Amino acid sequence: MATAATERSARLITGGCGFLGSHLCETLSRQGFPVIAVDNFATGSKSNAKLLSTLPNLRLIEADVCQDWFGWGGDLGPVAQVFHFASPASPPHYQRLGLETMWVNSLGLSKAMQFADRCGAA
């Protein structure tokens, strides 16, 4: 059961400007949840970022989830959920970005899980 504090807490979406991430950001924002979208734009779309910037309750952070989250994620306020959608998701992208794909799906996921654990998010 959601509490009032959980309802006010943000939902953090890595890969927030990618195809799936941007749709999730839009849906959650339109439902009234505060949303933090994180993307480094390796494959995320600047046009999705432009759309997201028009949504209420949405904060966009340009950052690489494989880097230290204390640099950009240290003062985000309460976060209820972390969704890890950061990853090149089409053959041309992950063939071109093979090492980056491996890192975001291992190190990036690990950092997202550690962050969620630290802030008590699901």
Domains of the chain: 15-119 (3.40.50.720)
More confident residue, 75 or 109: 109
Question: pLDDT averaged over the chain?
Answer: 90
> pTM of the prediction?
0.89
Q: Are 48 and 58 in contact (CB under 8 A)?
A: no
DSSP run (H or E) holding 10: strand 10-14
Q: Which has the closest alpha carbon to 15: 79, 61, 69?
A: 61
Is the pLDDT confidence value at 86 over 90?
Answer: yes
56 phi and psi, to 5 degrees? -70, 155
Q: What is the pLDDT of residue 4?
A: 53
Q: What percent of the chain has pLDDT over 90?
A: 67
DSSP run (H or E) holding 37: strand 35-39
Instruction: Indicate the Cα dihedral angle 34, 81, 66, 64, nearest 10°.
Output: -10
